[in-house]
Amino acid sequence: MRPQVVAHRGASHEKAEHTLGAYVAALDAGAEALECDVRLTADGHLVCVHDRDLRRTAETRGTVSTMNLDELSQLDFSAWKNPWGELDDEAEELDADHRTVLTLRRLFEMVRDYERPVEIAVETKHPVRYGGLVERRLVELLREFGWAGKDSPVRVMSFSWAALQRVERMAPDVRLVQLIERAHMWPMLRAVIGRDWLVGPGIKELREHPGLGRRLVESGREIHVWTVNTRADLELCRSLGVTAVISDRPGYMLELLDG
């Protein structure tokens, strides 16, 4: 069985990450799931943004947690990907909603209304200003969409064991993925994570520490790997029997897998 192809922040190799355009491109390429990072705005909205500050993706010194959604909506989250776009007569003309900040609600709506089933992997970032309120708001949104049960298309990921525990207490049927940043952390995490939790190692750790892959396979858990962008890395994942590969290049991964 081949791994599920998950679009990392959308089709982020070609499009500005976490924008609506990146996710539309990922779905057009055939991605079977979408991955996003979420942070909480000052007025309580979950938005799809990776970094705590906006210098890299919106060219401002602002911090997501101190800004309201209306303020974030005034920023261009796409220009950094193609800084010379305004000077290029052949550059693609982007719709306004492909430039602005993307809320998790809007991403959920797109997936709910899409023509084929699509899953979503939501990563909560920590440490953050609002702590466990991030998970509380996420679970509230899952319940609103009817996605807090066993048949939910959403799984929640985090490097924070405590964050995943919070989700488990509020929505025990939602699938959880313990992300692993360093190979040496696995023995400690294995002792404390839930029996049914999935694991999400980085491809770099799997390459540099072959024993990690073997130990994860031996644990009998599903393995979801980030961020897989090359043929060699995909082959390593397939040799370990991973069940999902999270990639900036979902179309390329599907081409390698399905020809």
H helix intervals, the chain: 20-28, 69-72, 104-113, 133-144, 161-170, 186-192, 203-208, 210-219, 231-240, 250-258
Q: How far apart are CA 242 and CA 244, in angstroms?
A: 6
Q: How far apart are CA 111 and CA 104, in angstroms?
A: 11
CA dihedral 60, 98, 105, 132 (to 10 degrees): -30
DSSP 10: T
Is the distance from CB of 103 to CB of 69 less than 8 angstroms?
yes
Q: How far is CA 195 from its chain centroid?
A: 22
| Beta partners for residue 241, in sequence order | none
Closest CA to 3 of 227, 237, 247, 248: 237
| Beta partners for residue 198, in sequence order | 177
Q: Which amino acid is at 159?
A: F
What positions carry a catalytic annotation?
A: 8, 50
